[in-house]
Amino acid sequence: MRVLMTSARSYDRASFASQLGERQSSPHTFTYSSARLEASTAGIVAGHEAVCAFVNDDLSALTLERIAAQGVRFLALRCAGSNQVDIEAASRWGVSVARVPAYGADSVAEFTLALLFGLARRVHRSHSRIRENNFDLSGLVGIQLRGRSVGVVGTGLIGAATARLLLGLGMKVLASDPVGQVPDLVAAGVTYLELPELLQQSEVVSLHCPLLPSTHHLINEESLALMKAGALLINSSRGGLIDTPAVIRALRSRHLGGLAIDVYEGEKALFFADHSEDIIGDDLFHQLKSFPNVLITGHQAFLTHEALAAIAATTLDNLDAMEAGLACPNLVLPRP
């Protein structure tokens, strides 16, 4: 099968080349494009039967209609989330969609702790000062995490992995998940609560939810008001979980003690590209960057050699199954 990888970066090429090499022979031929797939760039898929897309590709109904008209029948997402895909439109146009449901829970969990450590101990501020030969420690007083309460919102694979690491730090781990409790987390000492109670009791809140209509802007004016004054908020999941203007107001009033995010609701126009010579017109992003107690990274929580290898392996397995007409366990189906 001829496969076009969109939004391709050097690490994508390397990880897929390694996996293809390990398989010695593959029925798939890859072409790589750094362009982000959207309706206006749909012409790049010409001559390909499959597209290997990423989280920030725009796979709306119009994009899917245009790529289907050029012969694309398979869409292999090299990510877990599928909220960027109009699944009903894909089904309507005869495009099968598969994702990578699990590939780097430990990688993302470890990065979540990196965000927490960096924010709690003001590492990002210190790093900036040292680069300017400023070794003054004033304003860098942090907090110790051991013994503090942390609320993990969502205990799927990544949330559960994060909870286990937080337990290892000696933190009091609370959790909330509408799907239900994870028995081994409860046995390890995690206390499950309803979300409002978790927000009220947590000194740190870490988000690990899929982006669904029910979770869109989960952190909003009302939920922020429930949080403890001075609490820290961490998001390594999906940008749309946070109502950015509401968070900015909470930061400005000093009710929210700090924010560390690896995802951002408006990231599609920014992340995964070099904008160092550009003038960025996103005023909300500029406001976030202006706060000394905000740490932002560019959607890199997944970016480890191990996770990239797992993404490539599962994506190739998905393509194999879809081309052969076999049952693919990772198909994304329209909601009934």
Per annotation, catalytic residue among 122, 164, 208, 238: 238
Bridge partners of residue 98, in order along the sequence: 76, 331
Question: What's the distance, CA 139 to chain centroid?
Answer: 31
Structure tokens at 146: 């051991």
Task: Please say whether the beta carbons of 33 and 5 come within 8 A.
Answer: yes
Q: Whole-angstrom Cα distance, residue 87 to residue 246?
A: 30
73 is catalytic: no
216 is catalytic: no
Q: Whole-angstrom Cα distance, residue 293 to residue 326?
A: 50
| Type of residue at 40 | S
Instruction: Say whether 221 sits in a helix, a strand or coil.
Output: helix
Q: Whole-angstrom Cα distance, residue 329 to residue 327?
A: 6
Helices (H), the chain: 10-22, 61-69, 87-92, 105-120, 123-131, 157-168, 183-188, 195-201, 221-226, 244-252, 283-290, 305-324
Per annotation, catalytic residue among 36, 48, 78, 299: 299
β-strand 172-176 against 149-153: which pairing, if any?
Answer: parallel
Per annotation, catalytic residue among 49, 265, 267, 323: 267
Q: Whole-angstrom Cα distance, residue 193 to residue 173?
A: 11
238 is catalytic: yes
Residues annotated as part of the active site: 238, 267, 299
